[in-house]
Amino acid sequence: MPQENPEISADDLATRVWQELTRAPHDRHHEWRTPVLATQGIAASGPQARTVVLRHADAVSWTLCVYTDARSPKCSELQTQPLAQLIFWSKRLHWQLRVSALATVELEGEQVNAAWERVRQSHAATDYVSPMPPGHIQPARQSIKPDPGDLASTHHLAVLSFKVNSMDWLALRQDGHRRARLSPSGSLLWLVP
Ligand SMILES: Cc1cc2nc3c(=O)[nH]c(=O)nc-3n(C[C@H](O)[C@H](O)[C@H](O)COP(=O)(O)O)c2cc1C
């Protein structure tokens, strides 16, 4: 297991964590590229968790960014209850990161246009042009492939921005696990693992 200095300072730990978070969107093999996003389900549906791709991480504003289909249930869940968690696990680092954040759902505007420009040339573009919303019952034998013409017109890409409130970092170590709570103000609190 990799052994980080147990006496690591708040600044150093936050820097290391953000180093990994900012690398992840650019590295297909980084385990933190695909965190689990947990939201509060609407009405009695209970907690909802699913894998997403981390698209951007900003160490200055403590913001994380994910793309989704604007019609997916996670969007209405976050519009109703913007408090969410993103969970990252890295086997390489032996680190778990539980990020508590306040989400904003961007459905239009500069951020969405820029995101669409980035994905429209890629294979992922087809994820955002389906005529039917995600989770809709698939009619039997109907092709799930969108019409290539759809790529030029309407898309349903939404940008989810997560403003981090706090991060719960857990490092599994042979000589004793380490756990700390990090906040954007720079405070660090060591916790019993
Ligand atoms: C590896 C992986 C990456 C995924 N990335 C995304 C993503 O970036 N955005 C997204 O909306 N769904 C993504 N999904 C699909 C979601 O996990 C989920 O099935 C879908 O978004 C529907 O979620 P919802 O019904 O809770 O809104 C991904 C699934 C996998 C397995």
Rounded average pLDDT over 25-49? 96
Task: State whether the beta carbon of 156 lies less than 6 angstroms from ligand 1.
Answer: no
Does some domain include residue 23? Answer: yes
Does some domain include residue 147? Answer: no
Phi, psi (degrees; rounded to nearest 5) at 115? -65, -45
Rounded average pLDDT over 159-171? 98
Rounded average pLDDT over 131-153? 71
| Tally of structural domains, the chain | 1
Indicate the top mutation candidate among 45, 51, 116, 128 to test ligand 1's pocket, ranked by most ligand atoms within 8 A of CB. Answer: 51
Encoding tokens for residue 53? 């791709």
Does some domain include residue 143? Answer: no
Q: Which amino acid is at 33?
A: R
Does some domain include residue 100? Answer: yes
Q: What CATH number is given to the structural domain containing 94?
A: 2.30.110.10
Does some domain include residue 141? Answer: no
Range of the domain at 67: 10-132+152-191
Does some domain include residue 122? Answer: yes
Which residue's CA lies nearest to atom 25 of ligand 1? 73
* pLDDT tens, residue by residue, 89-138: 999 999 999 999 999 999 999 999 999 999 998 888 988 988 888 888 88
Looking only at the bridges linking them, the beta strands covering 83-90 and 36-40 are antiparallel
pLDDT band at 74 (very low <50, low <70, confident <90, very high): very high
pLDDT at 69 over 70: yes
Angstrom distance (rounded) from CA 164 to CA 186? 12
Does some domain include residue 145? Answer: no
Does some domain include residue 27? Answer: yes
Q: Is 109 left (phi over 0), alpha (psi -120 to 50) or beta?
A: left
Rounded average pLDDT over 55-68? 98
Q: Where are the alpha helices (DSSP H) in the chain?
A: 10-23, 73-80, 110-119
pTM of the model: 0.92
Other Cβ atoms less than 10 A from the Cβ of 101: the count is 22
Instruction: Determine the atom of ligand 1 nearest the C-alpha atom of 135.
Output: 25
pLDDT band at 3 (very low <50, low <70, confident <90, very high): low
Task: State whether the beta carbon of 51 lies less than 6 angstroms from ligand 1.
Answer: yes
Phi, psi (degrees; rounded to nearest 5) at 88? -120, 140
Mean pLDDT of the chain: 91
